[in-house]
Structure 1
Amino acid sequence: MTRVIVWRHGNTDWNAGHRVQGQTDVPLNDLGRRQAVEAAELLVRMRPAAIVSSDLRRAADTAAALAALTGLSVGTDDRLRERYFGAWQGLTMREVAEQRPQEHARWTAGEDVVGGDVETLDDLGKRVSEAIQDAARLVPDGQTVVVATHGAAARQGVGHLLGWPREQLRTLRALQNCHWVELTDDPVRGWQLAAYNVGVLADRPVPPPV
């Protein structure tokens, strides 16, 4: 049984400002770098055999904190990037609601097609779940791989992998910065969710999943 840890990156200034990042390459801030180190100190105990990351800096630098403790190199996969938020990127969520109210309403309702060149949930889920499955194939059965990615990408990718409908997936809270999902791939039972939103100091405020 292979274990996959789907790990959200640490905090950024855009997270702190409730600004939509999407695929904008925003770096970690001081808090985010500290979160990455703290989380890595827990994840190293799982003895990962491989680490794969989104190529965006906030995820890659988060993964690097674990690589420093394990001696592993970090592979990159651009399919693990955050959802592309099109015209929303760089705006605060308040600005999105004010400037693009119809699109914001569709996003709030969890609709697949939002508009504004925002990537559909179906496309997001497919590409991230494919990347997770490919990462799992990097390690022998019974070992662990860590996948560093982003909030919306993690939730949608995991949901697609598990075959959950969007209505069920919306019942999950957004992953906190530097928290993770634990999945297992069993030869008989297939993919299963073992844990969700695990990490250091789980009482920290939840930033938007963008």
Structure 2
Amino acid sequence: MTARRVLIWRHGRTEWNAAGRIQGQTDVPLDEIGVQQAIQAAPLLAAEGPDAIVSSDLQRAKRTADALAAVTGLPVSVDARLRETGFGPWQGLSHTELAERWPDEYAVWKRGETPELPGIERPADVIARMREALTDALGAVEGTLVVVCHGGAARRAVQALTGWSDEVAAQLAALGNCRWSELRHSTTRGWRLHAHNVGPLSGAAANDEPSTAADAEPAAEEELTSSPRS
């Protein structure tokens, strides 16, 4: 068996998302808006006809996956390899705090590169574990697989399937909370991106504020200057 279609779904909003804090692998729960985002988005994903759901073990992803499971009746498989990029000493800090405490390293990160700091996971390592997790999940189902994970991990999942370079992947906009990417497999061209940042157009799940548009990714200038709204 092998799935021919993958929907990579980012979890709903958390308080740290709203505050612009780096989550990484800290196990932060969904906030009230995040729960509503998952509940609202779940029927739309259910309409895509998923055959299996696999989720990161972090509770913000698992709670999002559970919303889809409640609609579809499908079980949720949990895989720690789908966790967000580890950000070590940066986890829990805002972008302003990072710029103040690690100005040189933060400047490196803003350029889209990985700073040399203990505890910060390198992209190649994230891609490797995402590839392993996806290979196992894809081999266990036919049809459509839903992968529930995180903002930075979702980008690496797309890379793992398509083989894109870091330079190409950097051009892919970060997923908003509770939005997803769709990839389909071609026997001649392999995995191809068919849709990106898909989600409801109204209600809680349509709340795609700049502050919630990235997880463990460099913030764009407008993300640093805008105030979170809810």
TM category, shorter: over 0.9
RMSD: 1.4
Give distance in 1, aligned partners of 2:14 and 2:71. Answer: 22
Residue 77 to residue 126, structure 1, CA distance change in 2 (3 Å): same
Trace 1:28-177 onto structure 2 (pairs within 5 A): 28-140=30-142, 143-177=143-177
- 3-state secondary structure, aligned to 2:51: strand
Aligned to 1:9: 11
Contact 1:184–1:191 (CA under 8 A) maintained in structure 2: yes
Identity %: 50
- 3-state secondary structure, aligned to 2:96: helix
Structure 2, unpaired ranges of 5+: 217-230
Give distance in 2, aligned partners of 1:36 and 1:84. Answer: 24
1:209 aligns with 2:215: yes
Shift of 1:160: 3.2
Contact 2:106–2:115 (CA under 8 A) maintained in structure 1: no
Give distance in 1, aligned partners of 2:190 and 2:114. Answer: 26
Query: Which amino acid is the alignment partner of residue 205 of structure 1?
Result: E
Q: Deviations over 1:8-65 (max 9, x none)?
A: 0000000000011100000001100010011101000111111000000000000000
Give distance in 1, aligned partners of 2:77 and 2:47. Answer: 20
Aligned to 2:184: 184
How many residues align? The count is 208
Shift of 1:113: 4.6
The normalised TM-score by structure 1 is: 0.94
- 3-state secondary structure, aligned to 1:200: coil
Structure 1, unpaired ranges of 5+: none
Contact 2:24–2:215 (CA under 8 A) maintained in structure 1: no
Give distance in 2, aligned partners of 1:7 and 1:40. Answer: 10
The normalised TM-score by structure 2 is: 0.86
Instruction: Give the stretch that moved more between structures: 196-205 or 90-99.
Output: 196-205
Aligned to 1:197: 197
Instruction: Give the stretch that moved more between structures: 160-169 or 79-88.
Output: 160-169
Give distance in 1, aligned partners of 2:51 and 2:157. Answer: 21
